[in-house]
Amino acid sequence: MKEITNDSGIVIQEKYNTLPPNYIPSAAGEFPYTSGIQPDMYRGKLWTMRQYAGFSTAEESNQRYHYLLSQGVSGLSVAFDLPTQIGYDSDHPLAEGEVGKVGVAIDSLEDMQVLFKGIELEKVSTSMTINATGFILLALYTALAKQQGADLSKISGTIQNDILKEYAARGTYIYPPKPSMRIITDIFEWCSTTLPKWNTISISGYHIREAGSTAVQEIAFTLSNGKAYVKAALQKGLDINVFGKRLSFFFNAHNDLFEEVAKFRAARTMWAQIMKELGATDPKALMLRFHTQTGGSTLTAQQPQNNISRVTLQTLAAVLGGTQSLHTNGFDEALSLPTEEAAKIALRTQQIVAFESGVTHTVDPLAGSFYVEQLTQEIAEKAWDLIATIDAMGGSVAAIEEGFMQDEIARSAYQYQRAIENGDKIIVGVNKFTTEEINNTPVFRVNDSIRQVQAEKLASLKTRRNNDAVAAALQAIATAANSGTNLMPHVVHAVEQLATLGEIADVLRKEMGEYQG
């Protein structure tokens, strides 16, 4: 009989008749949290339903946010364009052709005011997918909350702020690893007193998986990166029981339902053990809280309506795995940014699972399954082996500098693609069950004139603001960068003086250097 393996190379038995060796059942809400971080899980509170959205100008994105809120989303998730992600204002020569394309263009506090017009930040949880410039976007969000008169102790949300995976898998970095780690720990320190409910980092396996990793590599590399951030914060003298409560994770959900559920359960168990070994004692600092996004790389341009079924499977995997927050992709995202109709179907998919499927009625419905418990243990064992290899190199920063993570991901991506090409891996509508078709799916298009609109806004801003105050604020950031004092208060002050994102990023380019990957 042909041996069957999943994408992580784990051999799948024909039948599972016993629980794995050394199996110890764990209750939800109790260490090591294999079955979930809350004793009652979704009986007490459903996951936050988010829709990742952002495109064009702040005005257009604001309209989409109001639409999504009216349709029942319980949290916003902001996508930023590439110039914003890598610290260039929209009028920079390198921004040409990219402004507003894969997310919204944000150059200044005035753009942020428009982006959230009519939305009270104290009453909504906002996730921002931003890394190298995450500290600037957090400063802009904070400045806007202050303008709204919000109580900063009630402001909640997340910045991704995970630079290590950018070096390993995605590429939107600016500064070298060590200065970047310093910025991240500055954010940890500042938020602990200024924004105590803010999740200061979303340690991301999502993009590692999108780059071609296996499920095992996704959690191994992500948890290893998490260890690196915790150790950097400890070296800064921060309290693990304080900043540890504000760490969150971001994982991918793919199509192999049981592998994905087991992956989430294994990750939760492993992180609790890692944090305990690093000295955490507060139960909330031991809990792995995570956001999930359905797998963008699993979506096909061929027969795009099939993606609705894929997203439904992935939604079930995330929920059965115990996610705290979920974004579901639009079925048309292999073709373009999602249309409003596709975004609505994606949200309705979450709502149908939540209110019609019955999977939320009990905690960890697959707990005790011979197959799922065995798979959870095997995924954890393989991930621990990878983490041990990274630890032996000196941790994630060293492993990335040596190219270890990048090479492992590239090898897995190659093997996966070969399996599709030779037919060992079936993708419906791509290499099997194909049809001659004319794709009439409507696509979302972004107007190419956005860069000119943003450039005109910037020109106007620079004539109206107090440029002496801006220059002084930027100099204060440079001084803080060299003295080692926390950057965040100075960045908040600078954006309040209407310094632009590109100006702030450029100050630190000069002081910290740029990473040449």
The reported pLDDT for the residue numbered 455 is: 96
- Using one digit for the tens of pLDDT, what is the confidence trace for 367-392? 999 999 999 999 999 999 999 999 99
The reported pLDDT for the residue numbered 38 is: 97
Q: How far apart are CA 72 and CA 199, in angstroms?
A: 23
Cis geometry, peptide bond prior to residue 32 (ω within 30 degrees of 0): yes
The reported pLDDT for the residue numbered 323 is: 98
Closest CA to 264 of 151, 433, 387, 383: 383
More confident residue, 339 or 298: 298
The reported pLDDT for the residue numbered 253 is: 98
Mean pLDDT value across the chain: 95
Closest CA to 266 of 282, 283, 249: 249
Largest pairwise CA distance in the chain: 76
User: Please, which pLDDT band fits residue 74 given cuts at 50, 70 and 90?
Assistant: confident
| Cβ(31)–Cβ(272) below 8 Å | yes
Give 260: exposed, middle or buried? Use CB within 10 Å, 0-12, 13-18, 19+: buried
Question: b vs e for 291-328, b when ≥16 Cβ sit within 10 Å of the residue's Cβ?
Answer: bbbbbeebbbebbbebbbebbbbbbbbbbbbbbbbbbb
The amino acid that residue 431 corresponds to is: N
Cα-to-chain-centroid distance, residue 434: 33
Rounded to two decimals, what is the model's pTM? 0.93
User: Please, which pLDDT band fits residue 398 given cuts at 50, 70 and 90?
Assistant: very high
Is residue 375 classed as helix, strand or coil in its secondary structure?
Answer: helix
Q: What is the edge-to-edge ordering of all strands in the sheet holding 198-199? A: 198-199, 157-159, 125-129, 75-79, 48-53, 325-327, 290-294, 247-253, 201-204
The reported pLDDT for the residue numbered 310 is: 98
pLDDT exceeds 90 at position 441: no
For 191, other C-beta atoms within 10 Å of its C-beta total: 24
More confident residue, 52 or 172: 172
Q: How far apart are CA 182 and CA 73, in angstroms?
A: 34
Q: Which residue in this structure is represented by tokens 């980092």?
A: 201
The reported pLDDT for the residue numbered 102 is: 86
Helices (H) and strands (E) in the chain, counts: 20, 9
Can you read off the two tokens belonging to residue 328?
A: 């579901």
Cα-to-chain-centroid distance, residue 107: 22
- Using one digit for the tens of pLDDT, what is the confidence trace for 95-154? 999 999 889 999 999 999 999 999 999 999 999 999 999 999 999 999 999 999 999 999
User: Please, which pLDDT band fits residue 505 given cuts at 50, 70 and 90?
Assistant: very high
pLDDT exceeds 90 at position 449: no
pLDDT exceeds 80 at position 444: no
- Using one digit for the tens of pLDDT, what is the confidence trace for 472-484? 999 999 999 999 9
Q: How far apart are CA 144 and CA 498, in angstroms?
A: 12
Average pLDDT over residues 402-418: 96
User: Please, which pLDDT band fits residue 337 given cuts at 50, 70 and 90?
Assistant: confident
Q: Write the DSSP symbol of residue 19.
A: P
Closest CA to 85 of 168, 17, 162, 147: 162
Average pLDDT over residues 437-447: 76
For 395, other C-beta atoms within 10 Å of its C-beta total: 18
DSSP string, 134-197: HHHHHHHHHHHHHHTT--GGG--EEE----HHIIIII----S-HHHHHHHHHHHHHHHHHH-TT
Q: How far apart are CA 408 and CA 169, in angstroms?
A: 11
The reported pLDDT for the residue numbered 489 is: 98
pLDDT exceeds 80 at position 1: no
Q: Where are the alpha helices (DSSP H) in 278-305?
A: 283-286
pLDDT exceeds 90 at position 245: yes
Q: How far apart are CA 271 and CA 285, in angstroms?
A: 10
Q: What are phi and psi of 322, to 5 degrees?
A: 90, 35
Average pLDDT over residues 184-192: 96
Is residue 479 classed as helix, strand or coil in its secondary structure?
Answer: helix
The proportion of the chain whose per-residue pLDDT surpasses 90, expressed as a percent, equals 89
Which of 50-54, 411-415, 496-500 is predicted with the least confidence, judged by mean pLDDT?
Answer: 50-54
The reported pLDDT for the residue numbered 436 is: 86
Q: How far apart are CA 285 and CA 279, in angstroms?
A: 10
The reported pLDDT for the residue numbered 439 is: 78
Q: How crowded is the C-beta side of 320, counted as CA atoms within 13 Å?
A: 23
